A and B are shown apart, each in its own frame.
Chain A
Amino acid sequence: MRWEKGLGVVLALALVATMYGAFLVAPTEATMGDIQRIFYVHMPAWIAAFAGYFVVFLASVAFLATKNLKWDRIALACAEVGTLFCTTGLVTGPIWAKPVWGVWWTWDARLTTALILWLMFVSYLLLRDFLEEPVQRATLSAVFGIFAFADVPLVYMSIRLWRTQHPQPVLGGGEESGLDPTMFQVLVLGWIAFLFLLVMLAILRVRLEKARDEVGQLRRELMMS
């Protein structure tokens, strides 16, 4: 479809612009040096993960209200793609942490709640494989998805509620927070790129799920004939 090609082009441009901005435009951070450039993929990955999981929450509520399986397909797609971005955040974080903190991992509130979030959505994806009947699977998944989403605001607020190893917020974190204007522009580019990537991958994943449903339907038809 034409709009999908358009989306693909915008996505490609946004990704290229983000890479260019991260390496060639954004100034070098005074304390951490070049390693800080991980920020331009680390934070956008988490924003995309949260956005994906928010759609899981909305689609799960919509399924429970309407019992329309299309909402279950959307929830599954966004759970899987959201978990991809969550994994990205959990991989880039320790790679950044090791040279800065001296350790790959610490059990502070931010990192722990983020890992719990990842574990819950991996469980969501695995749980679905144990349930054959579509409506039952969708119902249980919807309930679990709503419950799992409750961790997202906790992850987000953890650095505001508790003292953590993870840095305090650079945006909206109070008087002492703030970001260099050029860094902020590159960060926004990263947000745009990753959110477009989330949308693109979710669309492809929904399409895959529709094809799986069609296979199931055709198999049942073949068995009955």
Chain B
Amino acid sequence: MQNLFWAYAAVWLLHVGYLVSLMLRQNDLRREISTLRALIEQKGQTPVGR
């Protein structure tokens, strides 16, 4: 039964861990995109995608 518990725990940990990693990476990239767009606008240009 212990092995059964660890198998299902591993499945959940791997997948939830991956999902959390995706979300954290997405948030970091969103922040970087905002920063870069603000810098480009400061320099008086219209950034790509706007």
| Chain A interface residues toward B at CB < 8 A | 19, 34-35, 37-38, 41-42, 45, 81, 84, 87-88, 91-92, 95-96, 98-99, 197, 201, 204-205, 207-208, 211-212, 214-215, 217-219, 221-222, 225
Contacts and interface: CB of A to CB of B under 8 A. Distances in A.
6 contacts: A41-B7, A42-B7, A84-B18, A204-B22, A211-B26, A217-B48
A81 B25 CA distance: 15
Q: Which 3 A-B pairs have the closest CB atoms?
A: A218-B36, A211-B29, A95-B7
B48 A38 contact: no
Contact of B36 (A34, A88, A208, A222): A222
A221 B40 contact: yes
B43 A225 contact: yes
Contacts of A204: 19, 22, 26
B22 A205 contact: yes
Contact of B6 (A19, A95, A201, A225): A95
Interface of B: 1, 3-4, 6-8, 10-11, 14-15, 18-19, 22, 25-26, 29-30, 32-33, 36-37, 39-40, 43, 45, 47-49
Given A208-B29, A218-B37, A222-B40, 19 more contacts: A87-B14, A88-B11, A92-B7, A95-B7, A201-B19, A201-B22, A204-B26, A205-B22, A208-B22, A211-B30, A211-B33, A214-B29, A214-B33, A215-B33, A218-B33, A218-B40, A219-B36, A222-B36, A225-B43
Nearest to B30: A211
B15 to A, nearest CB: 7
Q: Is the interface of A mostly helix, strand, loop or mixed?
A: helix
Contact of B25 (A88, A96, A197, A208): A208
A140 to B, nearest CB: 23
A33 to B, nearest CB: 9
Given A96-B3, A208-B22, A212-B29, A88 B43 contact: no
A59 to B, nearest CB: 19
Given A84-B14, A215-B33, A215-B36, A221 B48 contact: yes
Contacts of A211: 26, 29-30, 33
Nearest to A217: B48
Contacts of A41: 7-8, 11
